[in-house]
Amino acid sequence: MELLLFIVRRFLRLVLTILIISTIIFFVIRVIPGDPALVVAGIDASDDDIQAIRVRLGTDVPVGVQYVRWLSDIVRFDFGESMISGASVNKLILERFPLTLTLAVLGIMLGIIVAIPLGVLSAVHRWSFWDYFGMVYSQMGMAIPSFWLGLILLLVFAVKIPLFPLFGSDSLKHLILPAIALGFARAAVILRLTRAAMVEELSREYIITARAKGLTDRMIRYKHALRNAMIAVVTITGIQFGYMLGGAIIVEQVFSLPGLGRLFLYAIYQRDFPLIQGGVVFIAIVFSLVNFAVDILYSVLNPKIRIS
Amino acid sequence: MLEIKNLNISFVQGEKEANALRGISLSLKRNEVHSLVGESGSGKTVTSTCIMGLLPTPPGRINSGQIILNNQDLLLLEEKDQRQIRGKEIAMVFQEPARYLNPTLKVGDQITEMLILHLGMSNIEAVDRALEILELVGLDGGKRILDSYPHELSGGMKQRIMIAIAISCNPAFLIADEPTTALDVTLQLQILNLMLSLKNTLDMGILFISHDLRVVHDISDWVSVIYAGRIVESTSRKELFTNPKHPYTRLLLESIPDADKRGQRLQTIPGKVPDAENIPGGCAFHTRCPIAEDICKTDLPETKEVGSDNSGTSHTAACHFIGKQWKN
């Protein structure tokens, strides 16, 4: 009951967040100097042409009307058509989204599978081989740019040792290398945080109680400390996941993957305003949904949060 | 009987060595409350941590001493065997239940996990036993309490849960490290009464660690006063409060606020407990002692029998000038 109430409250907050973000996007785009219609039409366009483009973009009516239209479009999840291809923005985004989603899921799985156990191991056996290994890994993970890692992965595992395909996105196998390139740095962040959280939890007073109870080290670490450490880990992992869902522009570029990142990148190149707007709102919605899911998971892990 | 013999513990960090306990001896009988009294930094917590086998080594180092339970020296046991003692034979209650309970585990789990581990109970048996224990510590609400998280309970209830955890395996001895300090006065009294009644029902020996002499007066059978890692005086509660011998004990007793002393200036002991790193030579208390003479700066006073009554109650103190008077 308490949990249900919490979920409802968080959901209302999610709706409010999306509303605020949409409003900000709307005004930011209007504040940017220059009439988009002029940009689209080019220098030689006639006044009639420009007016026609304004009608198409919906910028011919007063800002208030535009804002109401914008909100009603979002509620209906309708962002109009791409100015370049004429296809609906929805369709373009939803076509690309499965690839980005798969990539993000693979990337975050890599992060979880590698980083969380390594982080816990580092914290439990401080200054051991695993701890140093973890430190070296996280330093490298944060220092190595993903485009470089992507290129090296391609060179080694697709060209020299052809274990994986060089390009394409037809099967899961195509996504392994990009997922590694994408997840490598994320895993480094999760690793650092897991170690820090675990070290902190192991120094708390309730651990002394657990030891005074005569519990085994295994119980103390994994039943008592890890449970508390996971609260912070889940949060950071969720944020990393949301971040990856927005599309990984650089990795998609290196591996020539038709994901959201590339879609939005080209939309920006081509000043495809409806697609840019739709894209930003879409990312905001996805990010908010991930945060919503994290909040719920968080409250399951941390009973204290539900009442606050 | 739990016996601590001549326990000497240092903390070593690089070149620095801090002598935390300098030959502590005390014994704890079943169905007895033995209080260990002293100011912060005098070595009370180190003593309890060491009895529980929870002293981190390093930085801690046990230089000498024995902790004898059932004819075996706990200090010589392997970690695995020490775990069989912890919680099962000797349990512990801490000062701040809010910090010493796991915030993300239901209190039921925090009680039953010990029963399952130490007594080999099944889950269902453990829950039944946990419900009995809750009644024993005066918490009604049974299953609802077991299903609560610590933050859902009040401070007094949390301390009762802490005690429930400690007594769950019927330990012979309980170490209570300032268990009432974080509670308000009414709750203090309730918790003290609870501990006394549990001592009787469970035939349990309690080592009660405190700096609060009023609480010590209410609960103890026996009192040892600790100063800078040494026990300076040890005797029955009655004898200590009516006939204190060591100047430190006398000053401590004078510094208890009391309604009879209304209008008078509250007594304090000048100075503070020396750092374990820089314990003065001779009697460590000489820097604050009103009757100290030259010998106190050089010679460590022996612990000797100083009892004056003929009841046969042991009364030991470590001072060169037992009974010497001073002007206030």
**Which residue segment(s) compose the domain that B11 sits in?**
1-28+36-84+210-257+270-328
| Interface contact B85-A214, CB threshold 8 A | yes
| CATH 1.10.3720.10, domain A95-269, yes or no | yes
Query: What pLDDT score does A247 carry?
Result: 63
User: Number of CB pairs < 8 Å for A and B?
Assistant: 79
Alpha carbon B204 to chain centroid, angstroms? 14
Contact A224 B105 (CB under 8 A): yes
Query: In this structure, what CATH number is given to the domain that contains residue B322?
Result: 3.40.50.300
The single-letter DSSP state of residue A45 is -
pLDDT computed for residue B34 by the predictor: 94
Give the end-to-end CA distance of chain A in Å, rounded to a whole number: 15
Instruction: For residue B61, tell me if it sits in a domain.
Output: yes
Given an 8 Å threshold on Cβ–Cβ distance, is A205 in contact with B104?
no
Q: Which residues of B touch A214 (CB under 8 A)?
A: 82-88, 114, 117-118
Contacts 24+ apart (CB under 8 A), B112-116: B113/A213, B113/A215, B113/A219, B113/A223, B114/A213, B114/A214, B114/A215, B114/B87, B114/B88, B114/B165, B114/B168, B114/B169, B115/B168, B115/B169
Q: Which residue has the tokens 């034979």?
A: B89
Decide if B15 is inside a domain. yes
Give residue limits of the domains in chain A. 2-75, 95-269
In a domain? residue B107: no
Return the percentage of chain B with pLDDT > 70, whole number.
Answer: 98
> Considering only CB atoms, which chain A residues are within 8 Å of B83?
214-216
Domain for residue B141, yes or no?
no
Whether B36 and B219 have beta carbons less than 8 Å apart is answered as: no
CA angle centred on B23, ends B20 and B25, rounded to 5°: 115
What would the two tokens of residue B59 be?
């930085």
By the 8 A CB rule, do B317 and B306 touch? Answer: yes
B228 located within any domain = yes
State pLDDT tens for residues B121-134: 899 999 999 999 99
Q: How close is the nearest chain A Cα to the Cα of B320, in Å?
A: 39
**Predicted local distance difference test score (pLDDT) of residue B207:** 94
Other C-beta atoms closer than 10 Å to the C-beta of A278 total 27
Residue B66 belongs to some domain of the structure: yes
* 3-class secondary structure, B191: helix
User: Which residues of A fall within a CB distance of 8 Å from B85?
Assistant: 214
Task: Give the number of domains in chain B.
Answer: 1
In chain A, the residue whose alpha carbon lies closest to the alpha carbon of B51 is: A212
| Of residues A164, A197, A195, A200, the one with CA closest to residue A179 | A164
Is residue B227 domain-resident?
yes
The answer to whether B104 contacts A302, with C-beta atoms less than 8 Å apart, is yes
The percent of residues in chain A predicted with pLDDT above 70, rounded, is 97
> What is the distance in angstroms between the Cα of B315 and the nearest Cα belonging to chain A?
32
Interface probe with A: pick from B48, B80, B94, B104, most Cβ of A within 10 Å: B104
Inter-CA distances, B178 with A28, A242, A306, Å: 60, 47, 32
**Between A211, A214, A303, which is nearest B104 by CB?**
A303
Q: What angle do CA A286, A287, A288 make, to 5 degrees?
A: 90
Q: Is A297 on the interface with B (CB under 8 A)?
A: no
Which stretches of chain B score pLDDT less than 50? none
Please indicate if any CB of chain A lies within 8 Å of the CB of B105.
yes
| Contact list, B82 vs chain A (CB under 8 Å) | 214
Tell me the two tokens of residue B224.
Answer: 């040892």
Query: Can you give the pTM of this predicted structure?
Result: 0.81
In this prediction, the residues of chain A whose per-residue pLDDT falls under 70 are: 1, 33-34, 247, 305-308
Residues of chain A found within 8 Å of residue B118, distances taken between Cβ atoms: 214
Long-range CB pairs of B15-19, under 8 A, 24+ apart, other chains included = B16/B277, B17/B277, B18/B275, B18/B276, B18/B277, B19/B229, B19/B276, B19/B277, B19/B279
Q: Which two tokens stand for residue B317?
A: 């103190």
From CA A99, how far away is CA A245, in angstroms rounded?
Answer: 10
Distance from CA of A207 to the nearest CA of B (A): 8
- With CA atoms as reference, report the closest residue to B299 among B314, B312, B281: B281
| B136 C-beta neighbours (distance < 10 Å), count | 18
Residues 6+ apart with CB under 8 A from B242: none
- Tokens linked to B50: 């060491």
Q: B307, exposed or middle or buried, with CB in 10 Å at 0-12, 13-18, 19+?
A: middle
Residue B299 placed within a domain: yes
pLDDT in tens, B108-155: 999 999 999 998 889 999 999 999 999 988 888 888 999 999 999 988
Query: Tokens for A108?
Result: 């975050």
**A chain contacts of residue B52, beta-carbon cutoff 8 Å:** 211-212
Task: Dig out the tokens for A291 from the structure.
Answer: 């945060």
Return the structure tokens found at B167. 């007594």
| Nearest CB to A209; choose among B82, B101, B117 | B101
Q: What is the CA radius of gyration of chain B?
A: 21
The 10s digit of each residue's pLDDT in B203-246 is: 999 999 998 888 899 899 999 999 988 999 999 998 888 888 88
